[in-house]
Amino acid sequence: MITKRATKLADGRDLFYFDDADSTLPAERAIDERALDPRPETARMRQDVLTGEWVSIAASRQNRAFLPPADQDPLAPQTPQNPSEIPSTYDVAVFENRSPSFGPLLEADDAPPSLQSLSDVGLNRQLRSVGRCEVVCFSPATEGSFASISESRARTVVEAWADRTAALSAMPGIQQVFPFENRGEAIGVTLHHPHGQIYSYPYITPRTQRLLDSIERFGPDLFEQHLANERASDRVVLQGEHFTAFVPFAARWPIEIHMLPHRHVPDFAGLTEAEKDELAHMHLRLTRGIDKLYDDPTPYIAAWHQAPVHVGRDTVRLMLQITSPRRAADKLKFLAGSEAAMGAWIGDLVPEKAAEFIRQGVERA
């Protein structure tokens, strides 16, 4: 069985160890004995009156680590020479981010009072950026990605995502939980360590709000019909008993893969053991396949879209979206005028051709 062990860092932040089912690690864990500065004040978020969207102004993030040498990796196990964030060696470790975009406060007098109040629009509106940001370390290795870990370790990561989704969703003030992995300097990664993050927002994100609007216009069976349509197309990349991965009909990015469960599941916490097993296996195959498209690893964002905590639970389905700006071996797609300024996308590749290309990478992997 995958085992969870909870402890605290020196400044009071939560740290969770998730031991593989076949782990050889001892049960004991070292104590974090560092002398740390107090945690930063919870940021404030401001509303863009032109769109109604909220922007967290988290200035403390300016001090986060930026591409340190391997012997100073803040996500590696602590050594006498490296006072990192994790006291002991580990299989998978999850801890509260030292420089969060949301949190550490979960409740405050100036926290968002309700979802309805967030949808109002006005000048100079500010609220506290309550919430929680966690780091998920896939391995103690100093370089790599999800694709570089074993299948047993991938299953442990999936268990950690499920555990943290359930725990974070139960916290006050949390409206949406978002696990993701950024991979590659072209994406903006500042650490080469194989890791991801989990953001827990005090609002429903703009992308999910647009999805809820589409469901309202299309009907509550949007995901069921969408999946059936994609499974009947020649854009399917990989298919299992419980999940199907495909290049979507209207793909924006040169490399874009979505994966959906065959039954309605709102988030990781709702998955069965068999579904978690298959998800770990298929996510590994997809990320390894992306790395076989070219001679060197491909940068990507692996984003796990989940239903909001309090709305849309019966209609919004758990969904993986992997996107990469890599449009050729030596070329990247940059978001310029139309995409960045107007949100009007122009695709570089025909989705059916992109699916064929990605299938070849998955087969090589």
Summarised one tens digit per residue, pLDDT across range 24-76 is 999 999 999 999 999 999 999 999 999 999 999 998 776 667 778 889 999 99
Residue-wise pLDDT tens digits, 199-213 = 999 999 999 999 999
Q: Do domains 3-201 and 208-364 have the same CATH topology?
A: yes
pLDDT score at 62: 66
Residue-wise pLDDT tens digits, 121-151 = 999 999 999 999 999 999 999 999 999 999 9
What architecture does CATH give domain 208-364? Answer: 2-Layer Sandwich (3.30)
Scanning the chain, the segments in alpha helix (DSSP H) are 115-119, 151-169, 206-218, 222-231, 273-291, 342, 351-364
Global pTM exceeds 0.95? yes
pLDDT score at 248: 98
Structure tokens, 323: 């996107």
Query: In the chain, where are the structural domains located?
Result: 3-201, 208-364
- 94, 134 contact by CB (below 8 A): yes
- Give the residue from 263, 276, 246, 273 showing the smallest Cα distance to 355: 246
Output the DSSP codes for 268-334. GGG--HHHHHHHHHHHHHHHHHHHTSSSSPPPEEEEEE---SSS-TTT---EEEEEE-EEETTEE--
State yes or no: cis peptide before 100, omega within 30 of 0. Answer: no
Q: pLDDT at residue 81 above 70?
A: yes
- 181, 210 contact by CB (below 8 A): no
pLDDT score at 59: 84
Q: pLDDT at residue 116 above 70?
A: yes
Average pLDDT score, the chain: 96
Determine the angle formed by the axes of helices 206-218 and 222-231, rounding to 10 degrees: 90
Query: Hey, which residues does 324 pair with through a beta bridge?
Result: 255
Looking at domain 3-201, its CATH superfamily turns out to be HIT-like (3.30.428.10)
Which residues are identified as catalytic?
Answer: 195
